[in-house]
Amino acid sequence: MSKALAIGDKAPELAIPDQQGKIVTLDSFKGKQVVLYFYPKDDTPGCTKESCDFRDVESQILRAGGMIVGVSLDGKESHQKFIKKFGLPFPLLSDEDARISKAYGVYKEKNMYGKKYWGIERSTFVIDPEGKVKAIFRKVKVDGHADEVLMALKA
């Protein structure tokens, strides 16, 4: 197990496909701050609210020199439907083998109704223009989260 990612660390590389199947890397965002949010599943209540909250503050995030990228274990077809249904203006990446989620330390054993399974723990990372981790939000509570992230971007 690698040590947990800390503020100031170099952000792990991405290199996974977006909803169009295009490979996305951190280098493609050089010079911008990246709001990288990991969420458990497309079109589920908490994830939908979180994604729509980010959609609603996107213009402010862009003005602050940032951009939003979502990551889940869902495939690109699922992402395409989710984006279309809620008008999400930012890319969603498919981490189907959980490689990136593991690199960011957000792939965890979860427990629902007594069943144990592995999945993404809702988490957000703000990555600075040099590719270093600027802010980390783990075990995110959706309400008010987009505003917290906006404040971290402007900090």
Per-residue pLDDT at 74 exceeds 90 = yes
Active-site residue set: 47
Helix ranges restricted to H, the chain: 45-63, 76-86, 99-103, 145-154
Residue 59 per-residue DSSP state: H
> Residue 1's pLDDT is what?
41
Residue 129 to residues 3, 71, 90, 151: CA-CA distances in angstroms?
23, 19, 18, 16
Q: Are 94 and 18 in contact (CB under 8 A)?
A: yes
The pLDDT tens digits of the residues spanning 88-109 come to 999 999 999 999 999 999 999 9
In tens, the pLDDT along 127-141 reads 999 999 999 999 999
User: By 3-state DSSP, what share of the chain in percent is helix, strand and coil, each rounded to 5?
Assistant: 30, 30, 40
State the chain's mean pLDDT as an integer: 94
Q: In the chain, what are the domains?
A: 32-154 (3.40.30.10)
Quote the CA–CA distance of 38 and 49 in Å, as a whole number.
13
Question: How many C-beta neighbours within 10 Å does residue 60 have?
Answer: 14
Instruction: For residue range 8-44, list pLDDT tens digits in order.
Output: 999 999 999 999 999 999 988 889 999 999 999 999 9
Decide if pLDDT at 58 tops 90.
yes
CB burial class (10 A; 0-12, 13-18, 19+) of residue 59?
A: exposed
What's the confidence (pLDDT) of residue 3?
67
